[in-house]
Amino acid sequence: MKNNRNLITGLHPVIEGIKSGKQIDTIFIQENLKGELVFELKKLAREGRIPFKLVPTEKLDRMAPGKHQGVAAYLSGIEYFDIADILPTIYEKGEVPFLVLLDRITDVRNFGAIARTAYAAGVHAMIIPAQGSAQINEDTFRSSAGALHHMTLCRDHNLKEVLDYLHGSGVKIVACTEDAEKNYFEVDFSVPTVLLLGSEENGISNEYLKYAQEWAKISMPGNIGSLNVSVAAGIIMFEAVKQKTAMSKV
């Protein structure tokens, strides 16, 4: 359970929290709660790319017994950025963008492990959906071994728009999927790249797969179907590191 010191309750406090620029992880709104302030809260949440969930009163009662007024929000332990603000600065520094986009990675241990490896591999930013991603909590930070404190994390409601933006900005989209024909070491990672990783249960959504310029797989001998997503992510990220290191020595 999250620390109650990170909990804001009540319509007005949560709205003012958003307006004052507080980094909010998730907003919980009582089902069927109506009114102008509820409409304003949802509008602010969408504009600020803050995920919100409609939940029964019982859940809010467990979070903040008797004092939630139908709304509660957890403050985030990290700051979220917009990829449209991050990518130009990478190019301006003369660096080759290396990004990771996570599609429905909901397990906090996998999320944290990917963040840890991404930080070690020099990934410039991780991109996650506002809905359907692992919560950033104590377990996530622990799994990342503190890397999340240093990793640039971008969150967006519309990953299709993000993929469109990246493609238009010269970033190659590489989907990691066992359905690929090409092995991961056959992919050129020396160019601007975003690595697209999907959930272990369902892989990458078809709606995102179609944006990829290349598909890459890790060939597995024997009867093992696939690797844990965080392990697979590490193998491919450090293939990119190997290629970039080789290029720098030429």
The answer to which of 6-20, 104-118, 124-138, 199-213 has the lowest mean pLDDT is 124-138
Q: Name the average pLDDT for the chain.
A: 88
Burial 192-203 (b: 16+ CB within 10 A, else e): bbbbbbbbbeeb
Kindly indicate the confidence band of residue 196, based on its pLDDT and cuts at 50, 70 and 90. very high
Kindly indicate the confidence band of residue 67, based on its pLDDT and cuts at 50, 70 and 90. confident
What pLDDT is stored for residue 3 in this prediction? 47
Per residue in 151-178, pLDDT (tens digit) is 999 988 889 999 999 999 999 999 999 8
What pLDDT is stored for residue 121 in this prediction? 95
Q: What is the DSSP string of 232-250?
A: HHHHHHHHHHHHHHHHHT-
Residue 229 or residue 23, greater confidence: 229
Task: Determine the average pLDDT of the residues in 17-42.
Answer: 90
Supply the pTM of this predicted model.
0.77
Residue 26 has pLDDT above 80, yes or no: yes
Percentage of the chain lying above the pLDDT 90 cut: 56
Task: Determine the average pLDDT of the residues in 88-104.
Answer: 95
- What CATH superfamily classification does 4-75 receive? Ribosomal protein L30/S12 (3.30.1330.30)
Give residue for tokens 């930013």: 125
The answer to which of 5-9, 91-95, 183-187, 231-235 has the lowest mean pLDDT is 5-9
Q: Which of 104, 135, 116 lies closest to 234 in space, CA to CA? A: 116
Q: Which two tokens stand for residue 176?
A: 């990691």
What CATH number does domain 80-248 carry, 3.20.190.10, 3.20.20.150, 2.10.109.10, 3.40.1280.10?
3.40.1280.10
8 A C-beta contact, residue 240 and residue 189: yes
Task: Spell out the domain ranges in the chain.
Answer: 4-75, 80-248
8 A C-beta contact, residue 145 and residue 118: no
Q: What is the DSSP letter of 82?
A: -
* Contacts (Cβ under 8 Å, ≥6 apart) of 20: none
Distances in whole angstroms, Cα of residue 228 to Cα of each of 117, 155, 179, 200:
14, 23, 16, 7
Kindly indicate the confidence band of residue 5, based on its pLDDT and cuts at 50, 70 and 90. low
Q: Which of 161, 123, 170 lies closest to 144 in space, CA to CA? A: 123
State the alpha helices, DSSP H only, in 48-149. Answer: 57-63, 83-92, 108-120, 138-143
8 A C-beta contact, residue 241 and residue 119: no
Residue 185 has pLDDT above 90, yes or no: yes
Task: Determine the average pLDDT of the residues in 10-27.
Answer: 88
Distances in whole angstroms, Cα of residue 207 to Cα of each of 75, 159, 175, 204, 210:
31, 10, 12, 8, 6
Per residue in 103-139, pLDDT (tens digit) is 989 888 999 999 999 999 999 999 998 877 887 767 7
Does the fold of domain 80-248 match that of domain 4-75? no
State the first-to-last Cα distance of the chain, in angstroms, to the nearest integer: 51
Per residue in 28-38, pLDDT (tens digit) is 999 989 999 99
What pLDDT is stored for residue 1 in this prediction? 39
